[in-house]
Amino acid sequence: MRYQFDTLSARPMRDQPIRRFSSFFAAALTTIGLLISTPTIAADPVSKKPADLAKGKTTAATVCAACHMPDGNSVIAQNPILAGQHAAYLEKQLYNFKLKAGAKEPERNNAIMLGFASILSDEDIRNIAAFYAAQKANNASAKRKDLIVLGAKIYRSGLPEKGLPACAGCHSPNAAGIPAQFPRLAGQHPEYTEATLNNFRLGQRKNSAQMMTIAGKMTEAEIAAVSEYLASVR
C-alpha cells in the first residue's frame, strides 16, 4: 500500500482518498493565505485614567491627614511617612487593607486602615497615591545612633551565616525602593520600620511572603539596627 506524506500534520496518510486530501490541502492553503494576509486585531489595552493630584490632595486632607498629615509627612512615629513613597506601592497597600469579597480578613489586617480604605473608590486610591508620591519627604532621624553601624552592615551585605540576604538587593543601595513591590525606606520613622519588621517576623503582617521569610530570620536587635540605619539614610 502506498503512502503520501501529510505536510500539515507531519504524519504519513493513506494514498487511497487522494481526491479528499487534495481538496483538504487546497482548503488549508486558502485558510493559511487568509491568516497571513489579514491583519490581527489586538484587544484594546485596559486604560487607566490619569491621576488627579488636586482631587488626591482634597481626599487626603479629608481622610488621611489626621494620622499622616496633609502632605504625607507624618509627625507621629508609629504612622509612616507617605510623602515621596512610590504611588504603585501605596495603591497596593490601600487595596490590601480592603476586605475582598469572600475573604475572612484583609491581606493586610489593620482595623483602623480597614475603615479608611473601605470608603475609598478606585479613583480615590489612584489620586491619593499619586498625590503623596509627588510630595517631598521630610526625613526622620535615627534615635539610637549606636545601632547604625550594625544596621548598615545588615542592609548592605545581609548575614550570610543566617541565610539573610542584603536588604539593598530589593530596596536598592540608597533605600529608594523599586515600585511597586519594594517601598522607599530611606528616612522612614525607625519606630514604624521596626514595628513593621517585627509584625512580619511574628506573622502578624502577611501581605508579603518574602518579607515574612526574611524578617523571620532576624532577631529583634537586628531589626532595631536596620530600622535606625534606614532612618539615617538620605
- pLDDT surpassing 50 at residue 6: no
Residue 44 lies in a domain: no
> How many domains does one find in the chain?
3
148 and 132: one domain? no
* Each residue's pLDDT tens digit, 168-178: 999 999 999 99
33 and 94: one domain? no
55 and 111: one domain? yes
**What pLDDT is recorded for position 118?**
97
Residue 101 lies in a domain: yes
Residue 55 lies in a domain: yes
Residue 111 lies in a domain: yes
74 and 29: one domain? no
**What pLDDT is recorded for position 214?**
98
53 and 116: one domain? yes
Which of these three, 138, 169, 184, is where a domain ends? Answer: 138
pLDDT cut 70: percent of the chain above it: 80
Residue 43 lies in a domain: no
For the ranges 46-50, 65-69, 165-169, 172-176, the lowest mean pLDDT is seen at 46-50
**What pLDDT is recorded for position 19?**
40
64 and 20: one domain? no
Residue 182 lies in a domain: yes
115 and 196: one domain? no
177 and 212: one domain? yes
**What pLDDT is recorded for position 47?**
47
* Each residue's pLDDT tens digit, 96-148: 999 999 999 999 999 999 999 999 999 999 999 999 999 999 999 999 999 99
The domain of 168 spans: 139-234
67 and 102: one domain? yes
Q: For every residue of the chain, which 3-state class applies, written as one string?
A: CCEEEECCCCEEEECCCHHHHHHHHHHHHHHHHHHHHCCCCCCCCCCCCCCCHHHHHHHHHHHHHHHHCCCCCCCCCCCCCCCCCCHHHHHHHHHHHCCCCCCCCCCCCCHHHHHHHHCCCHHHHHHHHHHHHCCCCCCCCCCCHHHHHHHHHHHHHCEHHHCECCCHHHHCCCCCCECCCECCCCCCCHHHHHHHHHHHHCCCCCCCHHHHHHHHCCCHHHHHHHHHHHHHCC
179 and 219: one domain? yes
* Each residue's pLDDT tens digit, 188-230: 999 999 999 999 999 999 999 999 999 999 999 999 999 999 9
Please tell me which residue, 56 or 34, carries the higher pLDDT value: 56
Please tell me which residue, 18 or 184, carries the higher pLDDT value: 184
Give residue 14's pLDDT band: very low, low, confident or very high (50, 70, 90): very low
CATH, residue 234:
1.10.760.10
